Amino acid sequence: MTCDLCDEIGGALLWQDPRLRVVYVDEPGYTGYCRVIWNTHVAEMTDLTDADRARCMHVVFTVEALLRELIAPDKINLASLGNFTPHVHWHVIARYRDDAHFPQAIWGRRQRADAAPRAQTAALIAQLQQHLRVRLNQ
Ligand SMILES: [Zn+2]
């Protein structure tokens, strides 16, 4: 059986260690959409050891804090669904009041046209890579 998240990184790689990785998701209309992906097949957060679960959430909160610092969103959305893949993963999504779906989830009903980008994607990716390396490689 093939698995998309084993076969592919799942976005632009921002940071990784043997247990998990952070990718930047190229979603039109959304600047600052990241995913934290557990590298092996673990379906539920409660399947992780306490230490692994703590590490996973530390990475999620580090990404959240960085997005707030770098692009000052109106809101951060954190979501863990995992209905299509056996990898625990967290969506960390920068939201703005004028984005296409606000205040709905980004998977909800569209409210308006796409907002203008808040940052240049390549520059934001480079900043995220640099800061995640500093904050998580210790
Ligand atoms: Zn897999």
- The 10s digit of each residue's pLDDT in 105-137 is 999 999 999 999 989 999 999 999 999 999 999
Q: What is the pTM of this model?
A: 0.96
pLDDT digits (tens, 9 = 90+) for 58-79: 999 999 999 999 999 999 999 9
Contact 38/6 with Cβ under 8 angstroms? Answer: no
Question: How far is ligand 1, taken at its centre, from the CA of residue 135, in Å?
Answer: 27
Rounded to 10 deg, the angle between the 50-71 and 121-136 helix axes is 140
Residue with tokens 């770098």: 70
Contact 89/36 with Cβ under 8 angstroms? Answer: yes
Question: How far is ligand 1, taken at its centre, from the CA of residue 76, in Å?
Answer: 27
Question: How far is ligand 1, taken at its centre, from the CA of residue 9, in Å?
Answer: 10
Tokens representing 53? 């679960």
CATH at residue 101: 3.30.428.10
Confidence of residue 138 (pLDDT cuts 50, 70, 90): confident
For residue 109, the enclosing domain spans 4-136
Question: How far is ligand 1, taken at its centre, from the CA of residue 40, in Å?
Answer: 6
Question: How far is ligand 1, taken at its centre, from the CA of residue 6, in Å?
Answer: 4
Question: How far is ligand 1, taken at its centre, from the CA of residue 2, in Å?
Answer: 8
Instruction: Count the domains in the chain.
Output: 1
